[in-house]
A and B are shown apart, each in its own frame.
Chain A
Amino acid sequence: MLAPYYSKYKQYILPIVLICVSFFIIFKVFLPELTSISEEKRTIETQKMEIETLKKTFQVLSSQDDTKIGDDLKIVKLALPTSKDPSAVFQAMVSAAEKSKVELKQYSFKVGNIYGKQVNSPNSDKKGIPFLTVLIRLSSPDAQSFIRFASEIQKGMPISEVNNINIQGSSGTLEVNFYYKPYDLTVLAKQNKVIPLSASEEKILEQLKEWEGSK
Chain B
Amino acid sequence: MKDDINLITPRKITKSAIRKIVLTSFIVFGSVFAITVAAFFYTFFLHSTSSSLDAQSKTIQLSISGLGDRREKTIIIKDRLTNIQKILNNLKKVESNTSSIVSEIPKGIVVVGVNADDQKITLRLSSPSLNELDLLTQDTMLKFAKNSKLGIKKIDSSSLSVAKDAYRLTLDFFFTSKAVKK
Contacts and interface: CB of A to CB of B under 8 A. Distances in A.
Asked if chains A and B come from one complex, the reply is yes
Interface of A: 11-12, 14-16, 18-19, 21-22, 25-26, 29-30, 33-34, 36-37, 40-41, 43-44, 47-48, 50-51, 54-55, 57-58, 60-62, 64, 66, 69-70, 72-73, 76-77, 79-80, 126-127, 129, 143-144, 146-147, 150-151, 154, 159, 161-169, 172, 179, 181, 183, 185, 188-189, 191, 194-195, 197, 200-201, 204-205, 208
A201 B85 contact: yes
A208 B56 CA distance: 40
B42 A37 contact: yes
A29 B32 CA distance: 10
Which of B32, B50, B90 has the most C-beta atoms of chain A within 10 angstroms of its own C-beta? B32
B81 A76 contact: yes
7 closest Cβ pairs, A-B complex: A15-B25, A76-B80, A150-B95, A18-B25, A40-B46, A167-B114, A47-B53
B32 A25 contact: yes
Given A15-B24, A151-B99, A204-B85, A62 B67 contact: yes
A87 B133 CA distance: 44
Which of B18, B26, B75, B102 has the most C-beta atoms of chain A within 10 angstroms of its own C-beta? B75
Which of A14, A19, A147, A201 has the most C-beta atoms of chain B within 10 angstroms of its own C-beta? A147
Contacts of B53: 44, 47-48, 51
A6 B32 CA distance: 28
B50 A183 contact: no
A75 to B, nearest CB: 9
A69 B98 contact: no
Interface residues of B, number: 67
A14 B22 contact: yes
Interface stretch (B3-11, B33-41, B151-159, B168-176): B33-41
Contacts of A22: 25, 28-29, 32-33
Contacts of A201: 78, 81-82, 85
Nearest to B61: A54
A60 to B, nearest CB: 7
A90 B40 CA distance: 72
A15 B22 contact: yes
B92 A163 contact: yes
A76 B61 CA distance: 27
Nearest to B81: A201
B64 A57 contact: yes
16 contacts: A11-B18, A14-B22, A22-B33, A37-B39, A51-B56, A62-B67, A73-B76, A147-B99, A159-B88, A163-B94, A165-B98, A172-B114, A181-B83, A194-B78, A201-B81, A204-B81
A200 B85 contact: yes
A163 B117 contact: yes
Nearest to B42: A37
Contacts of B88: 159, 204
A24 to B, nearest CB: 9
A164 B114 CA distance: 10
Nearest to A165: B116
B114 A161 contact: no
B126 to A, nearest CB: 11
A64 B74 contact: yes
